[in-house]
Amino acid sequence: MKRLFAILVVVSFATIAVAQNITKAGLYLKNGVAVVTEAEPVVVNVTLRVATEHFTPGIYARYAQKYLGKRATLSEYSSIELLDGKLALGAAEKQPVAVAQEPYVLPLPSNRVSAKVETNEEQAASTAEMIFSLRKHRLDLITGEAGENVFGAGLKAALDEIARIEKECLDMFYGAKSVTEKVYTFDITITPDKNEYMVCRFSDDMGIVAVDDLSGKPIVVKVETAPHKAYSDILLPLGPKDKVSAEYLIVPQSKCSLIGEATLMDTVEFASPLYGKSVTALPIK
C-alpha cells in the first residue's frame, strides 16, 4: 500500500534547494488518492491608504500681492494620492475608517477687533498691518526690547501665541490645506487556475474606483509559484530494502505581489497544498 505524505518545500524563485531532511507537513489521503482540493483556500487581504488634500483660498487672496508682496492662489482645488498598499494572509477584520475632522470656522474672522464697517479690501489692509505688528512684537520679545518680565515658559507661550495668530492671518491671504486619509480593504481568494487578480482601480480625480471604471489605473495582485521541477533532487530515493513506493505531495512556495501604477507596493509569501503536485519516490533497484 502506498504511503502519502504532504511535504512543504521552501523554494527560492531562482533555484530549488536540495532537501536532505524532508519535513512532513500533513497527510492528504482519500481512497488512496491525493486530493489537494480539500486544502483551505488562500485568502489575501489588500489594504490601501488614500489621502485627499483640499485647498481653500483665503478670503483676502486677491489682495495678497498688494499688501504682502506675494501672489496667492485664487482657486479651490483637491488632489488625491495613493499613499501605500499592504498585503496580509487571511481575511481582515473590518475596522472603522478614521476621517480627519474639518476645523471649525468662526462666523466672524478672528482678525476683526472693531465693529467699524469696512470694505473687504480695508479688512485685508488691517489684517496685513496686524501681521507686521505681530512680527515686530515677536522681534521685540526675542531681543528684550519689550516684556522684560517675560522669560522662560512665559516667553515661549507668548511666542507660540503670536505664531498662531500670525498663521491665522496669513491663511486669510494664502489659504489653508486640509488632509483626509481613508483606508480601503479587499479580500482576494487565490486559486491555482489564476495568477492575476484585479483588486480595484485608482483615479487621480476620484480615488479608489470600481474595477470596470476605466478612468482609473488598475491595482492588481499577481501570484508566482516556484516551478514543479527537479523533484528528484528534492526527494531522497528509498533504500534498497524498502518494498513499497512512497507518494509525496510537494507543496512549493508561492509569492503574492501588490502592483499599482506599475509600482511594486508589497509582497507576501505562502505555501498551500492547493498548488501541490503528487510525486512518487521508488525503491532503489
Cell 474595477, located at residue? 211
Q: What digits encode the pLDDT tens for the residues 107-128? A: 456 666 566 767 889 999 999 9
Q: Angle CA(251)–CA(19)–CA(234) in degrees, nearest 5?
A: 60
pLDDT (mean) for 201-217: 92
Question: What SS3 state is found at 80?
Answer: strand
pLDDT band, very low/low/confident/very high, at 180 (cuts 50, 70, 90): very high
- The residue among 182 and 242 whose pLDDT is bigger is 182
Distance from C-alpha of 168 to C-alpha of 155, rounded to nearest angstrom: 20
pTM (2 d.p.): 0.66
Q: Is 49 within 8 Å of 107 (Cβ atoms)? A: no
Distance from C-alpha of 39 to C-alpha of 273, rounded to nearest angstrom: 6
Question: Lowest-pLDDT range, 25-29, 70-74, 93-97?
Answer: 25-29
pLDDT number for residue 279: 66
pLDDT band, very low/low/confident/very high, at 86 (cuts 50, 70, 90): very high
Cell 477584520, located at residue? 93
- The number of beta carbons lying within 10 Å of the beta carbon of residue 27 is 11
- Model confidence at 85: pLDDT above 50: yes
pLDDT (mean) for 155-183: 91
DSSP per-residue string spanning 219-283: EEEEEEE--S--HHHHSPPBPTT--S-EEEEEE-EEEEEEEETTEEEEEEEEE-GGG-EEEEEPB
Q: What digits encode the pLDDT tens for the residues 139-168? A: 888 887 765 666 667 788 888 999 999 999
Amino acid at 181: E
Angstrom distances, CA of residue 159 to CA of 110, 153, 172, 228: 18, 10, 20, 69
User: Phi and psi (nearest 5°) for 229?
Assistant: -150, 165
